[in-house]
Amino acid sequence: MNWLCMTRYRSGSAFFVYACLRCRQHILSGAVCTSFREVNRLQITVNGKPFVLTAPMTISDFIESRQLNPATIVIEFNGAVVASDSWPSLSMQENDKLEIITFVGGG
């Protein structure tokens, strides 16, 4: 299990798995912080390599978090190529396999 600071998660911080100061103060005082919740880490495979997600996300969320250009990639999700208009509705689960194929121009 991992603790996720919801304040930092909502703000888009890349280090949201670390507690914000407010949450840390609540933990040290023994109080319950309402912006803090327990989450599972999800192990997936991306291009044949293990990858850990610290929060549930869709394929679109993942592509955005990796700063990939959706116009230049094709996604294979669990062995099937998926259309880009399906990416926002496909949530990744434990042990899913994602292959990201990038198109590169050349001569």
Whether the Cβ atoms of residue 96 and residue 59 lie closer than 8 Å to each other: no
Mean pLDDT of 61-72: 92
Judged on CB neighbours under 10 Å (0-12, 13-18, 19+), 8 is buried
So what's the pLDDT on residue 20?
57
Buried b / exposed e across 9-22, counting CB within 10 Å, b at 16+?
beeeeeebbebbee
Domain architecture of the chain: domains with CATH: 1-39 (no CATH), 41-107 (3.10.20.30)
Q: Sorting pLDDT into bands at 50, 70 and 90, what band is 55? A: confident
Query: pLDDT at residue 48 above 70?
Result: yes
Q: What is the Cα–Cα distance from 8 to 78, expressed in whole angstroms? A: 31
Query: pLDDT at residue 77 above 80?
Result: yes
* Predicted TM-score (pTM) above 0.95: no
Pick the more confident residue, 107 or 7: 107
